[in-house]
Copies of this chain bind each other. A is one copy, B any other.
Amino acid sequence: MSKISKISGFPEFLPGQKLAEEQIVARIRQVYQRAGFVPIETPAVELLSTLQAKGSVDKEIYVLRRLHAEGDEREELALHFDLTVPFSRYVAQHFASLNFPFKRYQLQKVWRGERPQKGRYREFYQFDIDIICRDDLPVSCDAEAIDVFAEALSLIGLPEYEIRINDRKILLGFYEALGLNPEQQKKTISMVDKLDKIGRDGVLKGLQQDVALDAATAQRILDLTDRRLAPKEAAEVLGAMQIDNPLFAQGVQDTLALLELISEESLSRIVIDLSLARGLDYYTGLILEVRMKEYPEFGSIGSGGRYDNLASEFTSQKLPGVGFSIGLSRILGFLFEEKRIEIPRDSTTEVLIAVYNEEQRRECARLARDLRREGVAAEVYFKSPKLGKQLDFADARGIPYVLFVGTEDGSLQVKDLRSKEQSALASVGELVERVRSGRSNG
């Protein structure tokens, strides 16, 4: 017999957990669809050259090899490590068939070829949305994307969380005003992004040693990261900063315009956090990160931002966009572990039809079909042992109703396993009504 070993980094849910995941996914999908987003899906596999088109990739990649490959076959296929690169390739490839603004959602697994390490996933779901425009992207799109993303987040059952936003232009304008050259600005972004990891002293030291800034400049950059503003104080505080730099001014203006546009519900979650830098090169304006307040060490559970050009590696079309990603598997893994989410019972069945003897199985199956046609989840017990055993089966799975069919006259009786009451039914329709009203009360 083959030994089964768990493979670290490849999480696997039990049926109840998978059911909870499906329910959450259905809710998020509905939010996205109702806001006019359409689904896309790309293969798990891309050409390795596509995945590396944006230059060197710091994510670990899994390359594919055919087990029965012949000696001269080149390894050119690999599993995608995020959904952004495949999405860029997709938009460039199908450009002529798409309508712009192109608003898409995409729920897929991604793979990271990392060495096994506790708590690190090597296969996980991401749930992305993006809005892509041709040539220019108004700030209304940033606001729309945030609102829809925030509504999706609100349906997951997360503990208290906040949506931190910042604008790259504010950071870069501030650094420019301090006299940093573009190369230094870029390095400073990376250094500030490490604040959580290496701490304030680490950043201060890094800015001086790696970015060659003087102590006073480094300190001013660090001071900026202390600023965390509620949306309603943003105008006043950012306006009072008196930084004489057009990029900075534009960043402030765009941020205030954004805050004007987004909904009250979203605003209640938002903090303007000037320490937020985001590591990725391609962000050019809004950047965003979601964190759980009570679990700061858990890190970001959702993130994204605005970029000037989605697919410059694959097409000459200018395609600015804004988008966010929900780290679905990480979030669910956490919620399950912390018992923060109610896991549905292992069955969605609402009515179990008991079977007195095999002669009546066909009739029972017909009743089950009638119930299902009315939207009631029903199944027939698979054998015909003593009724006690069949009731135990329903109990163990949390099935609320058991239906009995008289062997002589086909008369119907139902037992409610929660109230333990048993009663006669005039028709299947009566049971359908009972199940429906039980749902809304339960």
- Chain A 394-405, CB-CB to B under 8 Å as 1, else 0, gives 001100000000
CB of A75 within 8 A of CB of B65, answer yes
Distance A346 CA – B38 CA, assembled complex (angstroms): 7
Q: Nearest chain B CB to A363's CB is how many angstroms away?
A: 11
Q: Nearest chain B CB to A41's CB is how many angstroms away?
A: 6
Q: Nearest chain B CB to A8's CB is how many angstroms away?
A: 11
CB pairs A–B below 8 angstroms (30 shown)? A2-B49, A4-B93, A4-B314, A5-B47, A6-B93, A7-B77, A14-B97, A15-B39, A18-B39, A31-B372, A33-B377, A34-B372, A34-B378, A35-B372, A35-B378, A35-B379, A36-B348, A36-B349, A43-B123, A44-B109, A45-B111, A62-B67, A63-B67, A64-B65, A66-B115, A68-B113, A138-B382, A138-B383, A140-B361, A144-B382
Q: Nearest chain B CB to A21's CB is how many angstroms away?
A: 8
Interface positions of A from 306 to 327, Cβ below 8 Å from B? 312-316
Distance A367 CA – B42 CA, assembled complex (angstroms): 34
Q: Nearest chain B CB to A225's CB is how many angstroms away?
A: 31
Q: Assess A261 versus B379: contact at CB under 8 Å? Given A67-B62, A348-B33.
A: no
Instruction: Across the interface, name the chain B residue whose C-beta is closest to A49.
Output: B2
Distance A420 CA – B137 CA, assembled complex (angstroms): 30
Q: Assess A365 versus B143: contact at CB under 8 Å? Given A15-B39, A99-B346, A104-B15.
A: yes
Residue of A47, A66, A375, A376 with highest tally of chain B CB at under 10 A: A66
Interface positions of A from 24 to 40, Cβ below 8 Å from B? 29, 31, 33-36, 38-40
Q: List 15 additional contacts besides A16-B38, A31-B372; criterion CB under 8 Å.
A: A4-B50, A12-B42, A34-B372, A35-B378, A38-B347, A60-B66, A60-B68, A62-B67, A63-B66, A64-B79, A65-B75, A66-B114, A140-B380, A140-B382, A263-B365
Distance A75 CA – B67 CA, assembled complex (angstroms): 10
Q: Nearest chain B CB to A52's CB is how many angstroms away?
A: 9
- Chain A 51-91, CB-CB to B under 8 Å as 1, else 0, gives 00100000011111111110000010111000000000110
Q: Nearest chain B CB to A174's CB is how many angstroms away?
A: 28
Q: Assess A4 versus B89: contact at CB under 8 Å? Given A12-B42, A98-B15, A101-B382.
A: yes
Q: Nearest chain B CB to A55's CB is how many angstroms away?
A: 11
Q: Nearest chain B CB to A343's CB is how many angstroms away?
A: 12
Taking CB atoms, residues of chain B closer than 8 Å to A35 are: 368, 372, 377-379
Binding site for B on A (CB under 8 A): 1-2, 4-7, 10-16, 18-19, 22, 29, 31, 33-36, 38-50, 53, 60-69, 75, 77-79, 89-90, 92-94, 97-99, 101, 103-104, 109, 111, 113-115, 122-123, 131, 133, 138, 140-141, 143-144, 147, 260-261, 263, 312-316, 346-349, 358, 361-362, 365-366, 368-369, 372, 375-380, 382-383, 396-397
Distance A104 CA – B114 CA, assembled complex (angstroms): 31
Q: Assess A43 versus B261: contact at CB under 8 Å? Given A113-B64, A315-B1.
A: no
CB of B68 within 8 A of CB of A65, answer no
Taking CB atoms, residues of chain B closer than 8 Å to A383 are: 138, 140
Taking CB atoms, residues of chain B closer than 8 Å to A397 are: 99
Distance A366 CA – B264 CA, assembled complex (angstroms): 10
Taking CB atoms, residues of chain B closer than 8 Å to A66 are: 60-63, 113-115
Q: Assess A12 versus B348: contact at CB under 8 Å? Given A62-B67, A140-B383.
A: no
Distance A41 CA – B16 CA, assembled complex (angstroms): 11
Taking CB atoms, residues of chain B closer than 8 Å to A45 are: 7, 10, 111, 122-123
Taking CB atoms, residues of chain B closer than 8 Å to A92 are: 4
Instruction: Across the interface, name the chain B residue whose C-beta is closest to A103.
Output: B379
Q: Assess A39 versus B64: contact at CB under 8 Å? Given A7-B77, A33-B377, A263-B365.
A: no
CB of B65 within 8 A of CB of A65, answer yes
Distance A381 CA – B49 CA, assembled complex (angstroms): 37
CB of A67 within 8 A of CB of B77, answer no
Instruction: Across the interface, name the chain B residue whose C-beta is closest to A29.
Output: B22
